[in-house]
Chains A and B, each alone.
Chain A
Amino acid sequence: MKAAGGAGSVVGGEFVLLGGWGFTGDLTLLRLPVANLLHHKLRTALCAAAVGIGVAMMVVQLSLSHGTLNEVAQRMESVDAELIVLPRHANVIFQGGAIFPDTYVELIESAALEGEPVVAKAIPVFLDTVRLGGQQQRLFGIDPADMDGFLGSRRLRQGDLFPGGRAFKQRIEQLRGNSRRYDPERVTSDEVRRACELIIDTRLARVGGYSVGDVTEVFGQRFRIVGVVEAGVAGRVFAPIQTIRHILNGGVPWSSMFFVKLRDPGQAEVVADALARKLNANVELKTQYGSLLRDSFSQVYTYINVASAVALAVCFLFIMLTMYTLILERTREIGILKSLGATKRYVMAIVVWESVLVCSAGTVFGILLAYGIRVVIEATMPLQTVDIQWRWLVLAVAVGLVGGAISALYPGYRAARLDPAAALSFE
């Protein structure tokens, strides 16, 4: 006997295993379900397709939403800094604009722990949005001198790093002298025009078909694309912060947020707390940006999860209905099994296995379909990131198998309970 079990059988040691839910090793339990599925190929294919569509929808929605946000988070993490200073109460998806006066740069850089200065550099960013490549893009207004910190190991693929922007910065410093302000009237429109420069990433360049020298209208000015950098940098679109401040803010040196580079990256958490108290601002670890982003989108996630769940529920209801009608159709077959001495558990297992098998096929189909949809999305909407992660695949398999089993439980139970004699005489 391979196992002892509660089937009350004297001879049927293997039968106990067969009647159980587990594999017997020799797959005998699967023989009839497989034969039944192969016998009704179209029906099997339709069931598998239904499950596949549900599974694909779930995988694509998760991969798209998480993938797109993760891509943004990863880009933020690419900056050579440890902390991010954001306006208090601001949602991470805030629009930007002038929020912090430049005195904050000094406040941040003077931060100290036990008398020791801890901040190496505060990197101001002026955020706004521009329309490029067919959709809204976040524009990073940065000091041309900070571009290296944003690039990190990524390379400039084409053009230059703000030649006009650098000249404009010098011109403004010259105008300002020792004061904080300069008179914007003293800057000629020609000087501004030469400083209207954009650097974009390769992904946007590919999507919009942009290359160095192209001109696009931003904030009522003609901006020239002067450089294309490898994708993966924090922004898809950069402009010199002095130019943006001049155009949008009368040259007043305000910023939307700061990246903060520390002298000792190991102190990030302590410094974040100290800075948050000192500035009364929202100071986050750069590595926390992803979860901040997800929090900001939590309602969207709720919607996505509910939509996926509803889609899956419909698919499994379809399976349940199919299995239920199958039971009616196979009443005689179940009577035959009972005349051969099949236990209730065996009959139920046959039904559940058939469902699990068809749902497994559906899951495999759904995963392939998800990869297919990814190809389509990436071809038609290249700025979206469909990141099919292992965990989504594992989830898909789990949902497919568990859903298949659960939706067959009731039909299986009905089958198991059929009266043997009545089932056999069923027409």
Chain B
Amino acid sequence: MSDAILTARGICKDYRDGDRVAHVLRGIDLTVERGEFVAVMGPSGCGKTTLLNVLGLMARPTSADVLLVDGADCLSLSDRGRTTVRRERIGFVFQRFNLLRTISARGNIDLALQLRGAALDGQAARVLREVGLEECVHRKPGHLSMGEQQRVAIARAVACRPAIVLADEPTGNLDSANTQLVIDLFRRFHDAYGLTVIMITHDAGCASAADRILHMKDGMLEPVE
């Protein structure tokens, strides 16, 4: 019996713009095992971000048969219930880092912890040390390099010990050295803590760090050999 942490069946998502309807996701089936590291590749505009938003409960699918996240049946949940699942089981890492600019690196992580109701017992400092940024604890995002910002964002995503981390082109804005650092971090958290990661990437090198690579095309997923 497999231990699926995420199960999606028949996920469809349309965008309606006046009379025009764009069928962006056309029946996605995806199962991710606990502790798996999955990479998703695909051409620009094929719906990768849309898929991640649906899986991360940031957007509702137009239709779907099954969407289970860490055991929670997300199709039957209210907005509030989806918010709760997102808060407690999902961590995001974005291409554009998406740190809050007015508070420090540590403040960003503390805020995420506080939102979850976790005690601030030095966890922020610990994860910042794990991503090699103990020097940057008090710096605001504007005073960090892009690579450092992304590492803070990764620290924020993992600090709450989510069931699954969804990363949308986390290396898209980074040079090759920083790309390597970020991929190494994902790999390390995956190996050390059994973190489940779904990572979108355009970079085959990055994708090769994953256990499994999926290719997205025309709103459908297909495995890559």
Q: Is B88 an interface residue (CB 8 A)?
A: yes
Q: Of B56, B59, B84, B107, which is within 8 A of A8 by CB?
A: B84
A35-B102, A419-B59 known; A12 vs B107 contact (CB < 8 Å): no
Q: Is B115 an interface residue (CB 8 A)?
A: yes
Q: Is B111 an interface residue (CB 8 A)?
A: yes
Interface stretch (choices A65-73, A108-116, A200-208, A340-348): A340-348
Which residues on the B side are within 8 Å of A35 (C-beta)? 100, 102-103, 107
Q: Of A10, A14, A16, which is within 8 A of B88 by CB?
A: A10
Which residues on the B side are within 8 Å of A341 (C-beta)? 83-84, 86-88, 90, 115-116
Q: How far is the CA of A424 from the CA of B86 in the complex (A)?
A: 15
Interface stretch (choices A228-236, A288-296, A331-339): A331-339
Which residues on the B side are within 8 Å of A419 (C-beta)? 59
A8-B80, A13-B117 known; A38 vs B102 contact (CB < 8 Å): yes
Which residues on the A side are within 8 Å of B180 (C-beta)? none
Nearest CB to that of A9 among chain B residues? B84
Which residues on the A side are within 8 Å of B156 (C-beta)? 340
B58–A12 touching, CB < 8 Å: no
A28–B114 touching, CB < 8 Å: yes
The distance from the CB of B200 to the nearest CB of chain A, in whole angstroms, is 14
A421–B53 touching, CB < 8 Å: yes
B59–A336 touching, CB < 8 Å: no
Q: Is A11 an interface residue (CB 8 A)?
A: yes
B112–A15 touching, CB < 8 Å: no
The distance from the CB of A335 to the nearest CB of chain B, in whole angstroms, is 8
Kindly supply a per-residue 1/0 record for chain B positions 73-104, scoring 1 wherever the CB is within 8 Å of any chain A CB and 0 otherwise.
Answer: 00000111101101110101010001111110
Q: How far is the CA of A31 from the CA of B120 in the complex (A)?
A: 14
Residue with the greatest number of chain B CB neighbours at <10 A, chosen from A36, A336, A344 = A336
Kindly supply a per-residue 1/0 record for chain A positions 318-333, scoring 1 wherever the CB is within 8 Å of any chain B CB and 0 otherwise.
Answer: 0000000000000011
Enumerate A28-66 residues with CB–CB distance to B below 8 Å. 28, 31-32, 35-36, 38-39
Q: How far is the CA of A31 from the CA of B107 in the complex (A)?
A: 9
Q: Count residues of chain A with CB under 8 A from any CB of chain B.
A: 36
B102–A12 touching, CB < 8 Å: no
Kindly supply a per-residue 1/0 record for chain A positions 333-376, scoring 1 wherever the CB is within 8 Å of any chain B CB and 0 otherwise.
Answer: 10111111111101000000000000000000000000000000
The distance from the CB of B132 to the nearest CB of chain A, in whole angstroms, is 23
Which residues on the A side are within 8 Å of B103 (C-beta)? 31-32, 35
A340–B111 touching, CB < 8 Å: yes
Which residues on the A side are within 8 Å of B90 (C-beta)? 341
A8-B84, A341-B87, A341-B88 known; A15 vs B58 contact (CB < 8 Å): no
Nearest CB to that of A29 among chain B residues? B114
Q: Of A39, A332, A421, which is within 8 A of B58 by CB?
A: A421
The distance from the CB of A421 to the nearest CB of chain B, in whole angstroms, is 4
Q: Is A237 an interface residue (CB 8 A)?
A: no
B80–A343 touching, CB < 8 Å: yes
Q: How far is the CA of A292 from the CA of B101 in the complex (A)?
A: 59
A7–B80 touching, CB < 8 Å: yes
A35-B102, A35-B103, A421-B58 known; A18 vs B115 contact (CB < 8 Å): yes
Nearest CB to that of A6 among chain B residues? B80
Residue with the greatest number of chain B CB neighbours at <10 A, chosen from A13, A338, A419, A420 = A420
Q: How far is the CA of A78 from the CA of B102 in the complex (A)?
A: 60
Enumerate B41-59 residues with CB–CB distance to A below 8 Å. 49, 53, 56, 58-59
A336–B98 touching, CB < 8 Å: yes
The distance from the CB of B89 to the nearest CB of chain A, in whole angstroms, is 9
Which residues on the B side are within 8 Å of A340 (C-beta)? 87, 92, 111-112, 115, 156
The distance from the CB of A14 to the nearest CB of chain B, in whole angstroms, is 4
B88–A32 touching, CB < 8 Å: no
Nearest CB to that of A33 among chain B residues? B102
Which residues on the B side are within 8 Å of A343 (C-beta)? 80, 83
The distance from the CB of B157 to the nearest CB of chain A, in whole angstroms, is 9
B87–A12 touching, CB < 8 Å: yes
A346–B115 touching, CB < 8 Å: yes
The distance from the CB of B198 to the nearest CB of chain A, in whole angstroms, is 15
A8–B100 touching, CB < 8 Å: no
B59–A11 touching, CB < 8 Å: no
B98–A7 touching, CB < 8 Å: no
Q: Of B53, B58, B86, B102, which is within 8 A of A36 by CB?
A: B102
A339-B92, A341-B87, A421-B59 known; A15 vs B117 contact (CB < 8 Å): yes
A339–B56 touching, CB < 8 Å: yes
Residue with the greatest number of chain B CB neighbours at <10 A, chosen from A9, A10, A36, A337 = A9
Nearest CB to that of A333 among chain B residues? B100
Residues of B within 8 A of A (CB): 49, 53, 56, 58-59, 78-81, 83-84, 86-88, 90, 92, 94, 98-103, 107, 110-112, 114-117, 156
Residues of A within 8 A of B (CB): 7-16, 18, 28, 31-32, 35-36, 38-39, 332-333, 335-344, 346, 419-421, 424-425
Beyond contacts A12-B117, A424-B98: 6 other A-B pairs, Cβ-Cβ < 8 A, are: A8-B81, A12-B115, A14-B117, A338-B86, A341-B83, A342-B83
Give 7 nearest A-B pairs by CB, closest first: A341-B87, A12-B117, A39-B102, A14-B117, A35-B102, A421-B59, A15-B117
Q: List 24 A-B contacts (CB under 8 A).
A: A8-B78, A8-B80, A8-B84, A9-B84, A9-B87, A10-B84, A12-B88, A12-B116, A15-B87, A15-B116, A18-B117, A31-B107, A31-B114, A35-B102, A339-B86, A340-B111, A341-B83, A341-B116, A342-B83, A343-B83, A344-B80, A420-B58, A421-B59, A424-B94
